[in-house]
Chains A and B, each alone.
Chain A
């Protein structure tokens, strides 16, 4: 009954490959996110997505694309992987609609450590 689950936990792949990371939340949240955490532990938002709007951080290469089959899932697809894509990727979810009184804490998945060789 994990709140936010992402798979796989570890992903090792070669440059040029295409890979996906899956994320699911069972909290009924309306917004999901993908974050990249670099070696200095700095979290950078890549995408935020609810059922109405996809917000893309303009610094994210278009090799990265989110796919949301439904409100509970937001998968991350990465094409033509590069060495610099090596990082830990976190999925998270929260509830944002309904005004500030309905804001909820961010709930994070356990992270996917991606290593590109």
Chain B
């Protein structure tokens, strides 16, 4: 069983829709990261959080430490948001990665 589970694995949305990607983990963490990878592209760090909520533009990330769960929300989704979103947790000396959520936003 993977230490980090993401859902859904694949997601297709219409432009403008509100999107939620979920991440659950089973290890103790010092921080959780949300990463974005565009097709054929590099990997970019979107958020690093250890509690509460962070917002950057149309992206919002939340974490519930007690429930070992995090969500990434995208408001007013746009085709340029189409990418693979990866949840990763840092245990202090190791990173574990989810399998990623492939998001396609249709115009």
Which A residues form the contact surface with B (CB < 8 A)? 33, 40-45, 48, 53, 55, 90, 92, 94, 96, 100, 103-111
What are 7 contact pairs spanning A and B, CB under 8 A?
A43-B86, A43-B88, A45-B94, A48-B93, A48-B94, A100-B92, A106-B35
> Interface size on B (CB < 8 Å)?
25
Closest 10 CB pairs of A and B: A105-B45, A108-B43, A100-B30, A110-B42, A43-B97, A105-B48, A103-B31, A41-B100, A42-B99, A41-B84
Interface of chain B, main secondary structure: strand
Distance of A75 Cα from B92 Cα, bound (Å):
23
Q: With the chains together, A106 CA to B94 CA distance in Å?
A: 12
B68-101 interface code vs A (CB 8 A; 1 in, 0 out) = 0000000000000000101010101111110110
Chain B 14-39 interface 0/1 with A at a Cβ cutoff of 8 Å (1 = within): 00000000000000001101010100
Closest to A103 in B: B31
Q: How many A-B residue pairs have CB under 8 A?
A: 62
Write the nearest CB–CB distance from B33 to chain A, whole angstroms: 6
Q: Judge whether B30 and A103 touch: CB under 8 Å.
A: yes
Contact A55 B48 (CB under 8 A): no
